[in-house]
Amino acid sequence: MSVEITISGECMTARITGDLDHHSCTQIRARIDAHLERHTPSLLILDMEGVPFMDSSGIGLIMGRLRVQKSCGGNLALKNTNLCLTKIVTLAGLSSLIIDKKHEGERVK
Amino acid sequence: MKTKNSMKLIFPSFSQNEYLARSCVCAFAAQCDPTVAELNDIRSAVSEAVTNAIVHGYGEGVGFVELSAKIDDELNLYIKIKDKGVGIEDVKKAMEPMFTTKPDEDRAGLGFAVMTAFMDRVTVRSSLGKGTTVTLRKKISSRQIK
């Protein structure tokens, strides 16, 4: 499990690697929040390419960071979510956060 | 219906065992030759139930989580997640989407919603001070047990 942070202008990207569950969320959240506080980007992108699995703890992490971003007038986006992640993000009503719609039209079964 | 195979795993309520629990059930379910989507659903539901036992059942304390699974001859997979933690006061309320007793810890309150959406049946039995048992059932599509 790891997070790699990249800052480019007003945009901060967090590339997460590993399963996103209750166990890993604590450390990932701490790392992202430390950078969020320092840089207050207008857009936070969570790049999920290296995340094979996520449960509702990951949804909690996304909702919490979205709340932080909104409170500073910023926004949050998700990219590279696999089918498993897309399904749970959709169930949580957060599919509008996904910026690359590569699974759109595919049956999220 | 006849039980074809079964397993049991007992582990302390450490969060690093969430991965162990869901991987173990998926490895067990693999003998039914499930689809990738079915396996993902099972992995998600088990992860939610085990996380609930650890986060809510035992909280700051440590206790044992008992995970058992069985497959019958009609490819029904039954999974039971049992803790001897604090129990749930109002199961109906706990199962409502977005309901959480720990909003400040970034809990989404979606655990039971995921279990219900991804499995065919979810049964919760709970007793205050005695613990909670969640039973999940999913029918694996068509193919025969190898």
How far, in Å, CA of B34 to CA of B55, rounded? 29
pLDDT confidence of residue B108: 85
Which pLDDT belongs to residue A64?
94
CB contact under 8 A, B40 and A87: yes
Complex ipTM above 0.85? yes
Q: For the residues B111-120, what does the mean pLDDT come to?
A: 96
For residue range A77-105, list pLDDT tens digits in order: 999 999 999 999 999 999 999 998 766 55
Query: What 3-state DSSP class applies to A93?
Result: coil
Strand order across the B121-127 sheet: B3-12, B64-72, B76-83, B131-139, B121-127
Per the annotation, the verdict on B107 as an active-site residue is: yes
Largest CA distance in chain B: 47
Give the pLDDT score at A109: 43
Taking contacts as CB-CB distances below 8 angstroms, the residues of chain B near A21 are 15, 18-19, 47, 51
The mean predicted confidence, pLDDT, of chain B is 94
User: Cβ(A28)–Cβ(A51) under 8 Å?
Assistant: no
Note the pLDDT of residue A104: 59
What average pLDDT does range B92-103 have in this prediction? Answer: 87
A106 touches chain B (CB under 8 A): no
Q: Do A57 and B51 touch (CB under 8 A)?
A: yes
Shortest Cα distance, chain A CAs vs residue B96, angstroms: 13
Residue range B109-127: mean pLDDT, rounded: 96
Residue B43: band (very low, low, confident or very high) from pLDDT cuts 50, 70, 90: very high
Torsion angle (degrees, nearest 10) of CA A33, A36, A38, A40: -150
- The pLDDT-based confidence of B97 (bands split at 50, 70, 90) is confident
3-state secondary structure labels for all residues of B63-107: CEEEEEEEEECCCEEEEEEEECCCCCCCHHHHCCCCCCCCHHHCC
Q: pTM score, two decimals? A: 0.92
In the predicted model, residues of chain A with pLDDT beneath 70 are 102-109
pLDDT in tens, B99-115: 888 877 788 889 999 99
Query: Contact A57/B107, CB-based, under 8 Å?
Result: yes
Q: Packing angle between helix A83-91 and helix B111-118, nearest 10 degrees? A: 120
- pLDDT value of position B143: 60
Mean pLDDT of B126-136: 97
Residue B92, C-beta contacts closer than 8 angstroms, at least 6 positions apart:
none
- pLDDT for B99 equals 87
pLDDT of residue A12: 97
